Amino acid sequence: MYNTESFFIFPNHVLVSDDDNFFMYEQELINYCYEQKKKNPSGTIKSNRGGWQSDDEVFENDLNGSILLGHIKNNIEYCLQNDLSITNIFNLQYGNFWININFKKNYNFPHNHANSALSGVFYVKIPQRSGRLVFLKNHNETNDLFFRKEDFKEKNNLNPYFFVDPKPGRLVLFPSYLLHYVEENESNDDRISLAFNLQIR
């Protein structure tokens, strides 16, 4: 007779939150994103392959941008306090916010976000088939998965990929060290999201 126990250690916490009131500022935020692209057509290159990304200061010193961003920050701070159990919200420090616009066939290659504690994305305009957010296990953690039964991997969430379906008004928060990418936009319309980094001091 053998007495055995299984432990799945060091879980990662990914949080998804939908804003039921997004319709109230949705079109204004879409317009704002396109206005920023018009002001800076070349944008910058980060993890994007094709498409357009703004610089990190796009919402700073802009009253309209600050008001729009305030809606999203309210969601972030609610989640941090109520779902992620951050003990002191005043220790929260916002890093950079930027806009992503992926056109047809554009995508974001695998990357993580250095020098921050938490990262996130807020979905603004999401056509069908415009690309899911995909989290990847560290390569060193996947070696033994090839020898596990599929039902065991499903039951214990041990698959090397985790998919998040985007939708307008959806916020996703995750540890900045998690490797992730965005699938190719297979639609004929633009996919717009905001990305950001947070520090907890």
Domains of the chain plus CATH, in order, are: 15-130+166-200 (2.60.120.620)
End-to-end CA distance of the chain: 50
Q: How far apart are CA 168 and CA 194, in angstroms?
A: 11
Q: How far apart are CA 22 and CA 190, in angstroms?
A: 18
Q: How far apart are CA 97 and CA 69, in angstroms?
A: 9
Residue 99 has pLDDT above 60, yes or no: yes
Question: pLDDT category, 56, cuts 50, 70, 90?
Answer: confident
- Which three-class secondary structure state does DSSP give residue 90? helix
- Which three-class secondary structure state does DSSP give residue 171? strand
Q: How far apart are CA 137 and CA 164, in angstroms?
A: 14
Q: Where are the beta strands (DSSP E) in 127-169?
A: 133-136, 161-164
Share of the chain above pLDDT 70, in %: 94
Highest average pLDDT, of 91-95, 135-139, 191-195, comes from: 191-195
pTM above threshold 0.75: yes
Q: What is the mean pLDDT of residues 167-187?
A: 97
**Burial of residue 119 (number of CB atoms within 10 Å: 0-12, 13-18, 19+):** buried
